[in-house]
Chain A
Amino acid sequence: MKHVIIGAGAAGISAARTLRKQSAVDEIVMIATDRLAYSRCMLHKYIGGERDEKGISFVEEDFFESNRIRFCSDRTVTKIDTSNHQVCFADGVESYDKLLIATGAESFFPPIPGLKGAKNVFGLRDLVDARAIKSQGSKAKHVVVIGAGLVGLDVAYGLLEMGKKPTVVEMADTILSSNLDASAALTYQMKFEEAGCMFKLGCKVEGVLSDASGQVSAITLGDGSQLNCDLLVVASGVRPSIGWLADSGIVCERGVVVDNYLATNIANVYAAGDVTGLSESWPNAVEQGEVAAQNMLGMPNEYTDTFSLKNTIHFFGIPSLSVGRLNGKEGDVEESREDRKRYQKVILRDGIPVGVILQGDISRSGFWQQLIKNKVDVSGRSKDIWKVSFADSYGIEDNGEYKWLFD
């Protein structure tokens, strides 16, 4: 049996690992546009110089050899020929018995007049982007980042490390608005500002201006003002990377459409990770890669954990996590508390935690995700929501592992 995996990100690597673990004999081929299996979540560390290219790898150095995987690096798949069980490159083909599409997502460039075609404009999704930002950044005088989400701030952080003072433009009124509430976000905003970063919040980018050579020179904002800009990074979100599948017959909506077994509409073709649009989190992608691989091996397994409203953030030595809802809706109960080291907020609905934000101190807090994901009613447990922990659901399996005892 020959398995071909397109993409060497979280889902692809996890699938390859699973395939090899379950089958010593099957042939595994991985195809990637880069020459490394690197972690996108560490690209900013590369930009900032904290790590080199090797340092952002998330697999063992001998991963491909020791797992007997043929790694086709620097290869771009142009299309899939499902009738002939082949993936096609510009200069050749690779046949497969089972195929996994794990090409992830790509930066989304919003339709801003003048953006398309402007030079010195990048997203931050790939190592290619990171290399470009790093090299252009060293020369740039006015760096602007569009978007103050996690990626935007990653970029800003990397640029600050380079000694740049970037300006971050964001439509929302707070930074990290899909990850934190206003209070927790403000803590980071102040730290970024202290470090030299500027924010333009509640601000829409109306246009991108370029000079005669096509280089970006300025952006215009909703309030009519203009910002000089010689390097623009667009961090306005990502979209599943599916453009190249247009004529393949594989049904796509927002992402590649898969069933519970992560199979596409075409026999023997599976998809996992961000390309499915099921979720945009690393653990979910790893999990999907594993499940897809098992199904490719004929060991039926369903992917069930689609809970992806979770994130951790760590800038300037202040860790945060958020799980579930960030702000209470009508009828929710919000409990929050704050001191010089931490900010904590829990949102409850009918006694069930539906959201938590912890900032400053996230020690031993992993149980929150379980409470939220499993909709555990904690109202009967303790008068004090801050004393809730795994201790109240403490169970032990025969093999000594813990298990949650839900009442």
Chain B
Amino acid sequence: MRRIIIDADKCKGCKNCSMACIKAHKSSDATLAFADPQFESRNTILLNGEKKYKPLFCRHCDKPACATACMSGAMIKDPKTGHVIYDRDKCATCFMCVMSCPFGVLKPDRMTNTYVVKCDFCAEHGSEPSCVKLCPTKAITAKEVK
């Protein structure tokens, strides 16, 4: 499967990845569409205690705890692509996936708490993650992994 590989040491905290993610998923044409509920990034950058950048991206885990926790069948690991895909229509918004993601990647949407904000590997953009395309330091790259 393809996975976004992270080299945290190369991250400069520029948030291009987050802006790219928003752009790829927002429904409005406006650049900064705060009223658009989709105006939200799936990824983020954390700081550790030493103020070092630690990019937080969905790993599409081999054994995804979010899918295990899902009681509605909304979160499943696609056997073909290996990506963990989320079906908003099936989701019962119990948010067990949010609690179960061991790394704290998942979150309810910021405006309505009615769905989970989840990386889809830019399926609608030919599965070439938009964040990867815009990273200026190649801190994130998409690679085939076993």
Contact = CB atoms under 8 A, between A and B. Distances in A.
State yes or no: do A and B touch (Cβ within 8 Å).
Answer: yes
Interface of A: 10, 14, 39-42, 45, 57-60, 282-283, 286-287, 310-312, 314, 317-319, 321, 323, 362-370, 381-382, 387, 389-392, 394, 396, 399-402, 404
B93 A390 contact: no
A282 B94 CA distance: 11
B44 interface: yes
Nearest to B70: A58
User: Which 6 pairs across A and B sit closest by C-beta, in order of nearness?
Assistant: A366-B101, A363-B107, A391-B46, A367-B104, A391-B54, A391-B48
B14 interface: no
B145 A400 contact: yes
Residue from B62, B65, B104, B113 having most chain A Cβ neighbours under 10 A: B104
Interface stretch (B1-9, B22-30, B119-127): B1-9
A380 to B, nearest CB: 9
B6 A396 contact: yes
B138 to A, nearest CB: 14
Given A60-B73, A399-B3, A366 B102 contact: yes
A391 B100 CA distance: 17
B59 A10 contact: no
Interface of A is mostly: mixed
Contacts of B49: 381-382, 387, 391-392
Contact of B106 (A57, A364, A389, A402): A364
A399 B60 CA distance: 11
Contacts of A404: 102
Contact of B143 (A58, A363, A390, A400): A400
A264 to B, nearest CB: 24
A394 to B, nearest CB: 5
B44 A364 contact: yes
Contact of A57 (B3, B46, B73, B146): B73
A392 B48 contact: yes
Contacts of B105: 364, 366
B8 A394 contact: yes
Nearest to B48: A391
Interface in B67-110: 68-73, 92-96, 98-108, 110
A160 to B, nearest CB: 17
B119 to A, nearest CB: 13
Contacts of A321: 95, 98-99
B129 to A, nearest CB: 13
By CB atoms of chain A within 10 A, which of B47, B56, B61, B71 has the most? B71
Contacts of A41: 71-72, 92, 94
A362 B109 CA distance: 10
B112 interface: yes
A58 B73 contact: yes
A363 B5 contact: no
B61 A401 contact: yes
Contacts of A366: 65, 98-106
B54 A394 contact: yes
A351 B108 CA distance: 29
Given A394-B46, A402-B59, 17 more contacts: A10-B71, A39-B72, A41-B92, A45-B92, A312-B95, A319-B93, A319-B113, A366-B100, A366-B105, A366-B106, A367-B102, A367-B104, A370-B103, A387-B49, A391-B46, A391-B52, A400-B5
B73 A59 contact: yes
A361 to B, nearest CB: 8
B112 to A, nearest CB: 7
Given A369-B100, A400-B143, A400-B145, A362 B107 contact: yes
A363 B101 CA distance: 11
Nearest to B112: A317
Contacts of B102: 366-367, 369-370, 390, 402, 404
A365 B68 contact: no
11 contacts: A59-B73, A312-B95, A314-B93, A364-B107, A366-B99, A366-B100, A390-B54, A392-B48, A400-B3, A400-B5, A401-B61
